[in-house]
Amino acid sequence: MQKVIGIAANQIIHSVDVFHGNHVSYTPQGFVTAVQQAGGLPLVLPIDSPEAAKAYIAKIDKLLLAGGQDISPDLYGEAPHPKLQETNRNRDEFELALIKEAIKQNKPIFAVCRGMQLINVALGGTLYQDLSLYSNWEIKHTQEPTLPQFATHEVNVQQDSLLYPLLGEQAQVNSYHHQAVHKLAESLKISAVSSDGLIEGIESIDPEQRILGVQWHPELRFDVEPKEFGLFDYFVNSL
């Protein structure tokens, strides 16, 4: 039986040239293809009201949270910093509801970039609204103009983590973030860190609460790096 993987969608609401002014619900193709190649059945979940989250989660076996906009800082008790970028309150509130309902229904969650950060916020953690607020920032975490299939920095993986059997002690990853986990939620533990100490991977302390998050973008290089595909294979078939 194929596992149904719900992929929380983003939304384009201000594109005139490409979509002729239409609003578009979407997810990056890499998530869809990677889930399919791992044997899963991807189902894109459009942004909806938080009240609808229970029904969406009931329809899927596992939840995947993608990257995208910054997270509204009032959700973790802060005013917006001058370097805060675009936010989408509707997306924040819907995905927070999806996370809470997935935990309630005991559905596994795999989260990428913003998705990892949002799990931390959902469980009581905080974020650096911009990396300039992190005093030990030493490496480039937004790799443009380097293409995403090329890894640009190293992460160190904890031996007692879910990531260790998949990635080993160290891994090279791509990087596209200007925000990062600051205070880690008490129910989470660190799975991986960058060489300058930023949290690059998280998981639940409770093994029965099946949560895995990474700060980088495996959906953009799973087709050139088997270890990145291994993350999707593990999520779809084992987590």
Query: What's the pLDDT tens digit per position in 34-44?
Result: 999 999 999 99
Q: Do the Cβ atoms of 57 and 43 come closer than 8 Å? A: no
Q: What is the CATH number of the domain that holds 83?
A: 3.40.50.880
Taking the C-alpha atoms of residue 48 and residue 229, their distance in angstroms, rounded to an integer, is 29
According to the model, what pLDDT value does residue 34 have?
A: 98
Give residue-wise pLDDT tens across range 179-220: 999 999 999 999 999 999 999 999 999 988 999 999 999 999
Tell me, rounded to whole angstroms, the distance of Cα 54 from its chain centroid.
Answer: 20
In this prediction the pTM is 0.95
pLDDT at residue 25 tops 70: yes
Q: How many CB atoms lie within 10 A of CB 13?
A: 13
pLDDT at residue 16 tops 90: no
The mean of the pLDDT values for the chain is 96
pLDDT at residue 15 tops 90: no
The residues, ordered by sequence, that sit 6+ positions from 177 with a Cβ below 8 Å of its Cβ are 113, 114, 131, 141, 142, 215
Q: Of the residues 101, 200, 203, 219, which is catalytic?
A: 219
CB hemisphere CA count around 36 (13 angstroms): 8
138 labelled catalytic:
no
Taking the C-alpha atoms of residue 239 and residue 225, their distance in angstroms, rounded to an integer, is 20
- Radius of gyration of the chain measured on its C-alpha atoms: 17
Q: What residues pair up with 203 in beta bridges, in sequence order?
A: 189, 212
Helices (H), 113-225: 114-122, 164-167
**Mean per-residue pLDDT, 7-19:** 78
Give residue-wise pLDDT tens across range 79-124: 999 999 999 999 999 999 999 999 999 999 999 999 999 999 999 9
Strand order in the sheet with 109-112: 41-45, 4-8, 62-65, 109-112, 211-214, 199-204, 188-194, 153-157, 170-173
Taking the C-alpha atoms of residue 106 and residue 100, their distance in angstroms, rounded to an integer, is 10
113 labelled catalytic:
yes
Q: Of the residues 95, 182, 217, 228, which is catalytic?
A: 217
Q: How confident is the model at residue 12 (pLDDT cuts 50, 70, 90)?
A: confident
Helices (H), 42-88: 53-59
Please tell me the total count of domains within the chain.
1
The residues, ordered by sequence, that sit 6+ positions from 79 with a Cβ below 8 Å of its Cβ are 73
Show the domain range for 136. Answer: 4-237
Strand 153-157 versus strand 41-45 pairing type: unpaired
Q: Of the residues 95, 101, 113, 200, which is catalytic?
A: 113
Q: Do the Cβ atoms of 6 and 236 come closer than 8 Å? A: no
**Mean per-residue pLDDT, 55-62:** 98
177 labelled catalytic:
no
According to the model, what pLDDT value does residue 18 have?
A: 64
